[in-house]
Chain A
Amino acid sequence: MNSKAIIVENLTKIFNGFTAVDGISFEVEKGEIFGFLGANGAGKTTAMKMLCGLSMPTSGSAMVAGFDVYKENESIKKNIGYMSQKFSLYEDLTIKENIRFYAGIYGIRPELITSKTTLLLEQLTLEKEANLLVKQLPLGWKQKLAFSVAIFHDPQIVFLDEPTGGVDPITRRDFWNMIYDAAAKGITVFVTTHYMDEAEYCDRVSIMVDGQIDALDTPGNLKSSFQAGSMDEVFLQIARKAKRSE
């Protein structure tokens, strides 16, 4: 078995003459928390969508969980979890119904769904709220629940697209604890974020500018090579070079 969760080489996406992602290359280790940073419009979401099989690359190659994004799309989808920028649970379904639905479409056996649901509700201390509609939950809880649902089927890799947008600092900290727990279980975490304090929590981060990866290292190494006190400064130094914006 390969020890790499994701291998990307020269991955490019061109939309009608506009190069959204311009020949990026990187590797993500198994069990790693990989921060994928970049200003708005840098091409993060597009790159992530190609890795999730939502978008076909224009050129380059990528292996996700050991499968080729061009040919083994279906196998990739079985082995990843995905949580998008937009909130992804159904507001008019209860917490339990949401878990059951998403678990069901990943083909988990009914007995297993029931036992895992009980366990999950316990962990989230949502036992009493299990039959409430999701729209009645506060945003922070919704995001935590959405993350739990995204890794319910024990994927090899989970892709998180700005999962903590609009969430208060305490809930964000809780959320990151959940990410650490997932990583401890061996799930590779691929996360995009705008919060630089979150970047510090990652094992390694890459910073995208205008469709290309300008920096890729551990937060510590990045700070020392850019002679910066925080990831915030590193990001500003790199992102200021950007020519395009949204």
Chain B
Amino acid sequence: MKQFYHFIIKEFYHIFRDRKTLLILLGMPMAQIVIFGFALSNEVKNAHITIVNQSNGAASMKLVQKIESSKYFETYNQTTQTSDIEKMFRKGTIKVALVIPPDFDKTILAQNSSRLQIISDATDPNVATTLTAYLSIIVADFQKELNQPNSIPYTINVETRMMYNPQLKGAYNFVPGVMAMVLLLVCTLMTSLTVVREKELGNMEILLASPVNPLIIILAKAVPYLLLSIINIITILLLSYFVLEVPINGSLALLFAVSILFILVSLALGLLISSVTDTQKAAMFISLIVMLLPTVMFSGFIFPIENMPLPLRVISNIIPAKWYFIIVKSVMIKGLGFSLIWKEVLILTGMMLFFFTMAIKKFKIRLS
């Protein structure tokens, strides 16, 4: 126990003396939250729209006002020439255009029927689909208002409810993702580097020639990163709660418990990587390419797993972050309790035990 204490003190010296790395480790989660929260958003807001209003009647003016007041669109470059639209698309100044033909007001009053045209820039198909949908909803809404006094005989009112995330905020999805990514980076990458550094510098030989149990050497390496990671989780949760307004619907204690479980999985992975590599370069390569990349791709955080072909869906099961991502979403956003996530917790626990056993086993082999 005494030896363990001396080791942990030493590891803290290493971390605190390397100010730059420490700053990166503690600053990274904040940067990630800010980048994902404000810069990388797949929500569409204030999209530039050109409304070509050739009708200029009371009804069309009302429709234009309705669109202008929506937070999703911002009118840009008013024109009455449909020929200008393509020019604007080419320049990339607008994302979508709405054409109100000259007979719009007349036909809507006389024949109870009229036409509109939506043109959108589909180079980004997701944005185009979203904008077209938003515009259609506004038009449908407008239509309902016109019909109010004399309602049409058959109407179906679809009532949509967006469960758990009524405002459809992207943050609800990426906060759990960022948590998984940051923890994996700090724990797996940093732990593997710090152990391998001892090998590179030759200190490991001295340690192995001393009476210290190798288990103590590697466990002591993991402790400071466990603490750093807990600090990181707190930062991320505080930022997401107060700045991005993502609620924590479930039990905070449960959220912490599962996060610590995931930290342990990542630490075990880091130790495993350091057991099988001898240089910091190799450890970094494995941590980033073999661990981080699949985590980003297969955790469901950016690309939905349901859309992947079967072989990739099968592969995604061996990615620890996938299970952690599911758990965090369930606990934090849906507010579920342990009884509904025990399966995922069990899988992560199994992974942790497996990686730890492997790491220790591989490490011991190096001794003889």
Contact = CB atoms under 8 A, between A and B. Distances in A.
A203 interface: no
Interface residues of A, number: 30
Interface string A84-124: 11111010110001001110111100000000000000000
Contact of B14 (A53, A85, A90, A105): A90
Interface string B197-216: 00001110111111110000
Nearest to B9: A101
A38 B271 CA distance: 37
B203 A90 contact: yes
Query: Most chain-A Cβ atoms within 10 A of its Cβ — which of B10, B17, B203, B368?
Result: B10
Nearest to B210: A105
B209 A53 contact: yes
B210 to A, nearest CB: 5
B90 interface: no
Interface in B263-287: none
B38 interface: no
A87 B14 contact: no
Contact of A85 (B3, B18, B202): B202
A93 B13 contact: yes
A52 interface: yes
A101 B14 contact: no
B211 A107 contact: yes
Contacts of B367: 54, 56
A150 B203 CA distance: 12
A77 interface: yes
Query: Most chain-B Cβ atoms within 10 A of its Cβ — which of A53, A105, A107?
Result: A105
Interface in A36-88: 52-56, 74, 77-78, 80, 82-88
Contacts of A92: 13-14, 17-18
A207 to B, nearest CB: 24
Interface string A219-237: 0000000000000000000
Interface in B320-358: none
B209 A55 contact: no
Contact of B201 (A82, A87, A133): A87
B206 A88 contact: yes
A54 B209 contact: yes
B224 to A, nearest CB: 14
Contacts of B91: none
A215 to B, nearest CB: 28
B2 interface: yes
Query: Most chain-A Cβ atoms within 10 A of its Cβ — which of B2, B5, B206?
Result: B206
Contact of B209 (A77, A87, A93, A133): A77
Nearest to B7: A105
Secondary structure at chain B's binding surface: helix, strand, loop or mixed? helix
Interface in A103-161: 104-107, 133, 150, 159
Contact of B202 (A86, A93, A107): A86
A56 B368 contact: yes
Nearest to B17: A92
A48 B271 CA distance: 28
Contacts of B71: none
Contacts of A78: 211
A52 B9 contact: no
B6 interface: yes
Contacts of B212: 105
Given A74-B211, A92-B18, A86 B6 contact: no
A38 B104 CA distance: 99
A97 B208 CA distance: 19
B364 to A, nearest CB: 11
Nearest to A94: B13
Given A86-B201, A101-B9, A107 B2 contact: yes
A106 B206 CA distance: 12
A92 B18 CA distance: 8
Interface of A: 52-56, 74, 77-78, 80, 82-88, 90, 92-93, 97, 100-102, 104-107, 133, 150, 159
9 contacts: A56-B367, A56-B368, A82-B206, A84-B202, A84-B205, A86-B201, A92-B13, A102-B206, A104-B3
